[in-house]
Each structure stands twice: as structure tokens, then as C-alpha cells.
Amino acid sequence: MGHAVLLVDDERFARTVYADYLRAAGYDVEVADGADTALGQLARRRFDVLLTDVILPGPQDGLELLDAAKQLDPGIGVIVITALDKVDPAVRAMRAGASDYLVKPVTPEQLQVAVQRCLSMREVLAENRSLREHLRLFETGQRIAGTLDRERLVPMALAALSAQCVTPACALLEPAAGGWSLAGAHGLERREAEAVLEAIRPALAALGREHAVEARAPAGVGPDGHDRVVCVPVADEGEVLGAAAVLVTGPLSEECAEGAAFLARHLGLALTNLGRLRKVEHLAYLDDLTHLYNTRYLEVALQRELGGGRAFSVLFMDLDHFKAVNDQHGHLSGSRLLVEVGRVLRACVREEDVVVRYGGDEYVVILAGIDSGGALKVAERIRRAIEDHRFLSHEGQRVRVTASIGLASYPEHASAKAELLDLADRAMYRGKRSNRNVVYMASKDLPPVPAGERA
């Protein structure tokens, strides 16, 4: 069947002649004698072209029919037919969205040329819309892939996926230990997004790199009528990194599904890039020798603890007479001993505590959520562990070292990063000036540390 044309004219003869012209040219033609009848037909089925007389009987003329038809289907092509003395309304119709007008009497050739021109223009406009849509999708994908801030990335990607799938609600799910976890939501409360995760969880076992899964949406979640959850895989380099759970009213159209998959692939690329960035940043925060944290991370960790508002403590530690170890056993053995000290320190504290190689044979430990009383016990445990340990025993040397440790706590002793470190350093130096192998707590009356006098 050819393109569908709706022919509207109150003159029966004109309707019959024009319809015969168009059917002979291969078009699927329906006719109407007025605007009311035509609007009923337009509501019932889709037409490619509306061919209407400007002057029609009843309350609505051809111009009003044109407006109504464009509201029902903005893409419909419209041609108006007018008498020789009614050209002005036809010009107004052109300004209102008609693609052409014909003046009666109309020959078969004129009618066919006008309809074909209208269809060609309609196809060009559709191609332009498609190109614009593809360009928009491409630009959105590029923005997603180029975002290296996770706090911006997840909301941006979910909003784009929601728009692509014509739904106000979706969520990002990510693999986690023992299953899946919620990584973000758009248009859903936290509890609603968690309910979506629970609903789709059994189906996620079948999720593949290029295979979406579906499940029934939980009752009372999301907008009315959105009773299905479609999970689009978020993957990159052959690995499934997550799933975009989209609430829909029915099956996704091919165009929506392809666009969603395109955006999900770009989200996967962005997540991969974020993972690589985190690895690089992590390496930038590690000491090359001991693989403990370095002073760059010390700044980050102190700022984080200060921002948390709870009490915490800083231990500043220096090995006693470490120069003698280097002189007696060599610098290579000294470096190995520093690595071993790091392992001893890590064994004495909790996972959430931060151990930093400050430089040379100095170390800093941040004890999260521990006040000065608890920190004093930890510091003493570290001091004894180092004193009792026999270093370089794997090399048959069994070296003994001790450490002097200074302690300062927030907010008891100071409320600023630099002051906390300075007070802990002064307390440590007090131990170095006394009998060493000792723990001292901060005091504001301790003198500053003279440069070059710690060895």
C-alpha cells in the first residue's frame, strides 16, 4: 500500500476526481466532506498527507483543520486547495505550516507533483530530525564518557538515560560483594530505588554484556503505569560494570533501546576511566619504598578527619639512632628495615587508621575516632612492638631498634592540621632529647624542634 492521503473537500465531484487521480498514482486515499469528519479520521489513523480545501462548511475551515491536524501529528504534510479568488487564505495556510497550495481547477499532474513534493519535504525533515537526534545522542555520550567526577557523572548519565527511554525514573546498580548495590537514582526516593533493586535482583544473574533483562516493577514505586523494569548493561572492555534499571510502561522501542545501550556503553567507559584515575591517584599517595601512604595523603586524611568533627589523634614517630643502622649494615639493609617497620606499624593499628611514612625514618599515624587516652595505649603498644621486634632476621642480622613517639589529639590539643602535627612533633622530640624509646603527649609549652637535631 502507498502513502496514506486524507482528501477533504465539500464538493463531491472534486473529492471523486482528486481521489481517482491519487489512487491511480498508487496512493492510499480516504475522503471527508468537512473538518469534523476529517478530524475523526485523523484521530483514528495516521496519514502522510492532508489535502484540504481552504473553504469548508461548518464551524471549522481548512486553516483550523490544518492547525488541529498539526497538533495531532506535527509531521503530517499539508496541501491546501483554493479557488482563484481565495489565494490570500492559502498564503496564510502556508505561513501556518502547509507545504504547498493549489488553485482550482487542479490537473492530475499538478496534484501528483504537489503530493510528491510534500512527501519528499517530509522525508527530508524526518531525516534532519533523525540526524539532530543522533547528534544529540552522540554529544550526550561524549559528555558522559568525558566526565571524571563521579558525583557529576552518575546524575548526568541517569538523566540522559531517563530522557532517552522517555521515563522519569531510573537507577544505577553496581556489582558488590555478594550481589548488587544501589549506586544512584533519578526520579526515585532511596527506598523506592532499593525496592527496584530487590525486584530486579533475581533477573540480574542473566545480565550479559549485550543482554538486557526485565522484571516486574514493585507495587507503589515510580510513576503510575510504569510496571516494568528494564536493566540495560553498563559494560566496557568486555566487563559488566553495572546496570541501568529503567522503569517503563511497556517494551522499549528499538530506537529507545539502541540509544539507551549507546549511552550505557559511554557510562561504562567513564566508569573504567574513573577506576584508572583512582588507581593513578592511589599510586600518587603511596610511598615508593614502604608502600605506606605519603605526605600528600597525610594532608587529605587530616582534612577528612577534621571535617568529620569527631575526636582523633596523631602519632609522630622517629626511629632512635637509625643512622647507626645504616652505618653498620648499609643503606640497602636500612631501607629494608624501614619497610619492615611499616609492617609492624600496620599490625598495631586498625584498618581504618592511616599510617604514613613522613620522610627518612619518621612515620605518622592517624588514629580515627580515638582520643588522647586511647591513643596513648596504642602508642605504647607500637613502642613495645618495635622494641621487641628483631628486624632483618630473614637476612640473619636480627637488628634491634627503638622509637620515640609524640602524641597530639583533636580537639584536646589543637584544631588545625599544622598545629596538630607540630605539637606531636615537639612531643616526639622531647622523647629524643630524654632517654628515647618513649611516648610523650603534646603540651603547648614544649619548645619548637631545632632543625637537624633528631638523629
- pLDDT averaged over consecutive 10-residue blocks of the chain (455 residues)? 86 90 91 90 91 84 86 86 71 78 85 86 72 80 86 92 90 89 92 91 86 86 81 90 90 87 92 83 84 92 90 96 92 94 95 93 96 96 96 88 96 92 94 90 73 52
Residues 277 and 328 in one domain: no
Q: Could you list the residue range(s) of the whole structural domain that residue 80 is in?
A: 4-125
Residues 21 and 75 in one domain: yes
pLDDT of residue 87: 65
Distance of alpha carbon 47 from alpha carbon 50, whole angstroms: 7
Q: Which CATH number is 366's domain given?
A: 3.30.70.270
Cell numbers standing for residue 363: 612515620
CB contact at 8 A, 92 and 63: yes
Residues 180 and 257 in one domain: yes
> Is 136 among the domain residues?
no
Dihedral, CA of residue 223, residue 224, residue 230 and residue 231, to nearest 10: 30
Helix or strand (DSSP H, E) at 175: strand 170-176
> Is 178 among the domain residues?
yes
> Is 32 among the domain residues?
yes
pLDDT of residue 285: 87
Of 324, 315, 320, the closest CA to residue 433 belongs to: 320
Other Cβ atoms less than 10 A from the Cβ of 388: the count is: 9
Distance of alpha carbon 230 from alpha carbon 169, whole angstroms: 11
Q: Which CATH number is 263's domain given?
A: 3.30.450.40
Residues 232 and 344 in one domain: no
Residues 422 and 342 in one domain: yes
Residues 197 and 265 in one domain: yes
> Is 396 among the domain residues?
yes
Q: Which CATH number is 32's domain given?
A: 3.40.50.2300
Residues 115 and 252 in one domain: no
CB contact at 8 A, 34 and 8: yes
Residues 242 and 323 in one domain: no
Dihedral, CA of residue 68, residue 72, residue 77 and residue 78, to nearest 10: -10
Distance of alpha carbon 316 from alpha carbon 449, whole angstroms: 13
pLDDT of residue 455: 47
pLDDT of residue 450: 61
Residues 274 and 305 in one domain: no
> Is 342 among the domain residues?
yes
Residues 312 and 418 in one domain: yes
Residues 12 and 63 in one domain: yes
> Is 446 among the domain residues?
no
> Is 130 among the domain residues?
no
85 DSSP assignment: G
Residue 323 half-sphere exposure, CB side, CA atoms within 13 Å?
4
Residue 293 half-sphere exposure, CB side, CA atoms within 13 Å?
20
pLDDT of residue 423: 95
> Is 139 among the domain residues?
no
- Decide: helix, strand or coil at residue 119: helix
Domain boundary among 251, 283, 315: 283
Domain boundary among 125, 156, 175: 125
Domain boundary among 125, 159, 178: 125
DSSP state string for 366-433: EEET--HHHHHHHHHHHHHHHHH--BTGGGT--B---EEEEEEEETTT-SSHHHHHHHHHHHHHHHHH
Residues 303 and 433 in one domain: yes
- Does pTM surpass 0.75? no
What share of residues in the chain are helix, strand, coil (percent, to 5)? Answer: 50, 20, 30
Q: Tally the residues of the chain.
A: 455
Q: How many domains does the chain have?
A: 3
pLDDT of residue 84: 63
